[in-house]
Amino acid sequence: ENKRGSQGAWPALGLNLGLLLSSLTVYLLTIQGEAF
């Protein structure tokens, strides 16, 4: 169970990183849009 639990955490971690990355990208694009 312990091994399966740690494996199940990886997809959630990847999803969180993906959301964070997309949010950061939108944020940077917004800053560039204001700058130019």
pLDDT tens for the chain, residues 1 to 36: 556 666 777 788 889 999 999 999 999 999 988 776
Residue 15, domain extent: 1-36
Q: Which helix (H) or strand (E) holds 29?
A: helix 2-35
**pTM for this prediction:** 0.56
- Looking at residue 9, its pLDDT comes to 79
- Looking at residue 31, its pLDDT comes to 92
Query: Which residue do the tokens 């560039």 mark?
Result: 32
Name every residue whose Cβ is closer than 8 Å to that of residue 23 and which is 6 or more positions away in sequence.
none
Q: Measured in whole angstroms, how far is the alpha carbon of residue 16 from the centre of its chain?
A: 4
CA distance 31 to 21: 15
- Looking at residue 28, its pLDDT comes to 95
Token pair, residue 22, equals: 């997309």
The domain tally of the chain equals 1
- Looking at residue 7, its pLDDT comes to 72
